Structure 1
Amino acid sequence: MVASDAERPVAGADVIIGIDSGTSVIKAVAFELNGRQIASASVPNRYASGADGSATQSLSQTWRDCAAALRGLGDKVENLATRTAALAVTAQGDGTWLVGRQDKPVADAWLWLDARAAPTVERLAAGPLGRARFEATGTGLNTCQQGSQMAHMDRRAPELLDHAEVVLHCKDWLYLNLTGVRATDPSEASFTFGNFRTRRYDDTVIEALGLSGRRKLLPEIIDGTMVTHPLAAEAAAETGLKAGTPVSLGYVDMVMTALGAGVCGGEGDVACSIVGSTGVHMRAVPTGAVHLNKEGSGYVITLPVPDLVTQVQTNMATTLNIDWVLGLASDVLKEFGHEAGHGDLVARIDRWLDDSRPGQIVYHPYISEAGERGPFVNANARAGFVGLSVNHRYPSLVRAVLEGLGLAMRDCYAAMGDLPSELRLSGGAARSQGLRGILSAAVHAPVRVSSREEAGAAGCAMMAAVAIGAYPDMDACIADWVTPLLGPAEAPDPALIGVYDGLFPAFGAARRALGPAWDMLAPQRRNTAGASAKMPQGA
């Protein structure tokens, strides 16, 4: 169902707003109907982390920050309220946002970063319906997901679910505040509780999670390319926009960013990687061509295109590894009274690459406190170097970290089938020519970089553009919004391909062998942390 006549934009409206509520920042971005970005406004996001693995965020504050970002956009775009034809919203995926009576928050949201459900994941993964759940969702179970977190709450803190009337994701919570409608989209619904083939909830999946008794908490599923709801009067007053403006519920941010960056369109087996704090590696395939790996890892996430889904593997940390290795240099310089900003250190990366030999050290980029989830799931996995010698210096470590990112990317794409024929990159780190060369050689594919500044906001705005009839379908929208912004193909260096072909088996062998060591280290870390906390000051 397309927006009704009452919801259609008034004549002369020429702007679509995309909202992207990420883990670190909430953005509101204005686009012309043809996809040209006009302006953006942002508000820093805030969440709290705990020693118990918790990562939580205030629902009320998130909505206030979203409204502030929209008001900020209004300050930059003259007559924004009357010019806005539609707005759309996407946000960080996974996590659990509990809403109770009168649409009030039950508690702070559990974010995708929250690791408290790890024991529940182990229990459920070993259950009799574990493989059936994976076959339906195409998605490996991990601590990030709403299903895992709800199952953990149901056992450890059932009062949270008892007080809830609906369980939402971040973008769903913002959509509720914008429109008054409790809903979710086909992408998060199907990879968490459903079947990617039908894009609906699945009884076997819900049973496998032990949540059959909580099914009433799951919201209606709507597709934002076909259904919109009008901006509520209260939300209009808070955001400065016009009541009745059509609002589209976007898909999860991973596929919105991939859509905006170019995961669809072009010849051959095109793939798209988001090289940000986390690494997201995706390829668009017909529903019937999905490759489900034997490890039961990764995601299958529907696209807002009929019979097309993304296969996804995600690394918990990507540029966080670069931040860590550069932070070592910064800390040492600071000890000697010298300050080096992050930008200064980033600018030296290509020089350090020139001062080091490729393929000498294996680095596993599992630097996140939450471990790893792609292409394997282990909350205890940690980063490390294999193969260090006295001849290695700091430039060798920098190179090894970047090569580790490339090999981890290859590990992810190999778990989805053949390596891609073209790799499209999005994210700030894609601006590094040295890193692009490493990634290209690691996956045997030419690289193209999208110049789209805000791919996630663009992806959901594209859904709104189709919903209000600005384009007849998503393919036509992609032709205007995406394809013209893709840079030229950068071919991989054949010599580096050979180096990384030789290094990759060592990367995989070490990764598999280190599993028991990671698992033994985990309780040791916890015990040591506890002892440190009890140690008297000055001891």
Structure 2
Amino acid sequence: MTGTGNGSESATNFCQASDLIVGIDAGTSVIKAVAFTLRGRQVAAASVPNRYHTGHDGSATQSLSQTWADCSAALRGLTEKVPDLAKRTAALSVTAQGDGTWLVGPDGPVDDAWLWLDARAALTVRRLAAAPQNRARFEATGTGLNTCQQGSQMAHMDAHFPELLNRTEVALHCKDWLYLNLTGVRATDPSEASFTFGNFRDRAYDESVIEALGLTHRRKLLPEIIEGAKVTHPLTPEAAAQTGLLAGTPVSLGYVDMVMTALGAGVYDGAYGDIACSTVGSTGVHLRAVGAGDVHLNAEGTGYVICLPIPGIVTQVQTNMAATLNLDWVLNIAAGIMSDMGTAVSHRDLIAHVENWLAQSQPGQIVYHPYISDAGERGPFVNADARAGFAGLSAGHRYPDLVRAVAEGIGMAMRDCYAAMGPLPSELRLTGGAARSQGLRGILSASLNAPVRVSDRDEAGAAGAAMMAAVAIGAYPDMQSCIAEWVTPLLGPAEPPDAALVSAYDHLFPAFTAARTALPPTWDALSAARVASTKGIQQ
């Protein structure tokens, strides 16, 4: 094991004397702390709800100090569940929600973080995307511009809120902010650094990318890049007092949560290219592991290329802004109507009926575009004004048909994303809320015409982070051997797609894409109408 600031001897002593690794996963909804044995068995988990604020201007912000307090609370909660956790912890690692901008000055946070949900940079994204340097930026990063990213947000700040950057010493991401509080070290990891400001081939900053974003004069705000599967830093005494862990415990900086979850769920098992992994929760994240030299960069300039903590291996990624949020929406419509009629029902009650509603409806009858997010869509196209909608409704359709259309829309959006990355995968490994539903798994499997395997791993994101710490402290010689013990044995049997559904969705997909490519003028007009309406109300 190598390290900076920890000393390999002290980290080895932790490994010899302790039998647990703690993975922190600070998501958009929940901050989790999860304890695993050195061989990958989950022991216990504790969580704290995450808190952020949205505004009518498209803002989505989160308090830095509150996020650290909530992370500390989750770790203290874990100490209450696991006897002698402090003494037993060989290392901990942290991952978190990706993108976004967490600015730190000489005295701490400069302002609330701009989250990946923040849409304020839309005009700046359009300006940068139209610039002649943008294609070269895309060729280096493998990542299309969107409002989620730190580069776009910092460029927007530089143009419209320069005082924020003027007061900043370092621009971090969420996990980097937590790592700073845990270790006192200002750093980021190769995954977020390269897809935002660098080159996925050498995992380093690329000056031409920074120039294309118009941020050369802000270059000093970018932190050092460290490899968390090789380098750890010790937990500070101040962080130890707040978390209940021992000062000096080795801390690993994980990669961004998208690839940590995919790593824990089985995106890579020694082979790559044919296997895909999708996290279908509130958002949809669709990944396939490829060699860095085999990346398929689409003509549209969309998607992400995000490094894995494995030499030479990256993930191609397309992400939907909303996945099961669409199901939440259609279920909430029913809940609202029933409440108005005097019958209160919970979201859990309605979720239990989804399988029945799917069984009561015919597949492939209605196109639904699942762009329900107020921030529009980012995969496989970028349009902040994109909005959800149905096409093909008739008087004979009933509520179960709408539920099925929404579920199928999630599957069609997934297929749209994978088609932008090359041939459709031969196997899909699935995690997230959709993995728990047999009906939804069947729709997603048939949408890709690929068998589905689901991992028994409950907390894949925290596990992926913990795996990096396990390699960093020498519990495994490399990530492949860690995957063989932590991931592969937990993959369930392959569930083959239903042939009739495959046929239905092969016919539905062309209608989905034809409508999607025709809708941008409609979205533009609706956006203008909303702006005009808002101005009229304010006047």
Question: TM-score of the superposition, structure 1-length normalised?
Answer: 0.98
Is structure 2 residue 438 aligned with structure 1 residue 433?
yes
1:279 corresponds to: 284
Q: Which consecutive residues of structure 1, in runs of 5 or more, have no partner in the other structure?
A: 535-539
Which of 411, 414, 432 is the matching residue for 1:409?
A: 414
1:176 corresponds to: 180
Which of 490, 496, 516 is the matching residue for 1:511?
A: 516
Q: Secondary structure at the match of 2:70?
A: helix
1:301 corresponds to: 306
Which of 352, 376, 389 is the matching residue for 1:371?
A: 376
2:142 corresponds to: 138
Is structure 2 residue 395 aligned with structure 1 residue 390?
yes
Is structure 2 residue 228 aligned with structure 1 residue 232?
no
2:225 corresponds to: 221
How many angstroms apart in 2 are the aligned matches of 1:464 and 1:370?
Answer: 34
Given that 1:9 and 1:86 are in contact with CA atoms closer than 8 Å, whether structure 2 keeps it comes out as no
Q: Return the letter of the residue paired with 1:181.
A: V
Deviations 1:225-283 (A, max 9, x none): 00000001110111110010000000000000000011011656110000110000000
2:492 corresponds to: 487
Is structure 2 residue 456 aligned with structure 1 residue 451?
yes
How many angstroms apart in 2 are the aligned matches of 1:266 and 1:233?
Answer: 39
Q: Secondary structure at the match of 1:19?
A: strand
1:195 corresponds to: 199
Given that 2:94 and 2:175 are in contact with CA atoms closer than 8 Å, whether structure 1 keeps it comes out as yes
Cα deviation for residue 197 of structure 1 reads 0.3
How many angstroms apart in 2 are the aligned matches of 1:503 and 1:428?
Answer: 24
Is structure 2 residue 247 aligned with structure 1 residue 243?
yes
Q: Return the letter of the residue paired with 1:223.
A: E
Deviations 1:103-131 (A, max 9, x none): x0011100000000000000000011000
Given that 2:324 and 2:433 are in contact with CA atoms closer than 8 Å, whether structure 1 keeps it comes out as no
Which of 46, 56, 70 is the matching residue for 2:61?
A: 56
Deviations 1:332-388 (A, max 9, x none): 111111112111111111111111111110000000000000000000000000001
Cα deviation for residue 532 of structure 1 reads 3.4
Distance 1:440 1:266, change over 3 A: farther
How many angstroms apart in 2 are the aligned matches of 1:489 and 1:359?
Answer: 24
Q: Secondary structure at the match of 1:206?
A: helix
Q: Secondary structure at the match of 2:17?
A: coil
Cα deviation for residue 533 of structure 1 reads 4.5
Given that 2:430 and 2:455 are in contact with CA atoms closer than 8 Å, whether structure 1 keeps it comes out as yes
How many angstroms apart in 1 are the aligned matches of 2:90 and 2:198?
Answer: 32
Given that 1:9 and 1:246 are in contact with CA atoms closer than 8 Å, whether structure 2 keeps it comes out as no
1:151 corresponds to: 155
How many angstroms apart in 2 are the aligned matches of 1:448 and 1:266?
Answer: 17
Which of 69, 72, 96 is the matching residue for 1:67?
A: 72
Is structure 2 residue 118 aligned with structure 1 residue 106?
no
1:422 corresponds to: 427
Q: Secondary structure at the match of 1:345?
A: helix
Deviations 1:484-529 (A, max 9, x none): 1111100001111111011101100000000110011102112223
Is structure 2 residue 34 aligned with structure 1 residue 12?
no
Distance 1:9 1:526, change over 3 A: farther
Given that 2:46 and 2:75 are in contact with CA atoms closer than 8 Å, whether structure 1 keeps it comes out as yes
Q: Return the letter of the residue paired with 1:234.
A: E
Is structure 2 residue 258 aligned with structure 1 residue 254?
yes
Q: Which runs of 4+ in 1 moved over 2 A?
A: 6-12, 529-534
How many angstroms apart in 2 are the aligned matches of 1:533 and 1:447?
Answer: 50
How big is the alpha-carbon RMSD for the aligned residues of Structure 1 and Structure 2? Answer: 1.0
Given that 1:8 and 1:245 are in contact with CA atoms closer than 8 Å, whether structure 2 keeps it comes out as no
1:95 corresponds to: 100
Which of 127, 132, 138 is the matching residue for 1:128?
A: 132
How many angstroms apart in 1 are the aligned matches of 2:26 and 2:389?
Answer: 32
1:350 corresponds to: 355
Q: Secondary structure at the match of 1:39?
A: strand
Q: Return the letter of the residue paired with 1:347.
A: A
Q: Return the letter of the residue paired with 2:227.
A: D
Cα deviation for residue 429 of structure 1 reads 1.9
Is structure 2 residue 341 aligned with structure 1 residue 336?
yes
Q: Return the letter of the residue paired with 2:212.
A: A
Give identity over the alignment, percent: 74
Q: Secondary structure at the match of 1:487?
A: coil
Given that 2:105 and 2:169 are in contact with CA atoms closer than 8 Å, whether structure 1 keeps it comes out as yes
Is structure 2 residue 512 aligned with structure 1 residue 529?
no
How many angstroms apart in 2 are the aligned matches of 1:200 and 1:267?
Answer: 25
Cα deviation for residue 6 of structure 1 reads 2.5
How many angstroms apart in 2 are the aligned matches of 1:440 and 1:72?
Answer: 38
Which of 50, 55, 66 is the matching residue for 1:45?
A: 50
How many angstroms apart in 1 are the aligned matches of 2:65 and 2:253?
Answer: 19
How many angstroms apart in 1 are the aligned matches of 2:90 and 2:132?
Answer: 49
Given that 2:270 and 2:480 are in contact with CA atoms closer than 8 Å, whether structure 1 keeps it comes out as no
How many angstroms apart in 2 are the aligned matches of 1:430 and 1:57?
Answer: 29
Q: Return the letter of the residue paired with 1:2.
A: T
Q: Return the letter of the residue paired with 1:299.
A: Y
How many angstroms apart in 1 are the aligned matches of 2:35 and 2:256?
Answer: 19
Cα deviation for residue 531 of structure 1 reads 2.9
Q: Return the letter of the residue paired with 2:281.
A: G
2:386 corresponds to: 381
Q: Secondary structure at the match of 1:75?
A: helix
Q: Return the letter of the residue paired with 2:471.
A: V
Cα deviation for residue 530 of structure 1 reads 3.4
Deviations 1:63-108 (A, max 9, x none): 1111111111000111111000000000000000000104x00111
1:537 corresponds to: none
How many angstroms apart in 2 are the aligned matches of 1:344 and 1:59?
Answer: 35
Moved more, 523-532 or 388-397: 523-532
How many angstroms apart in 2 are the aligned matches of 1:110 and 1:136?
Answer: 25
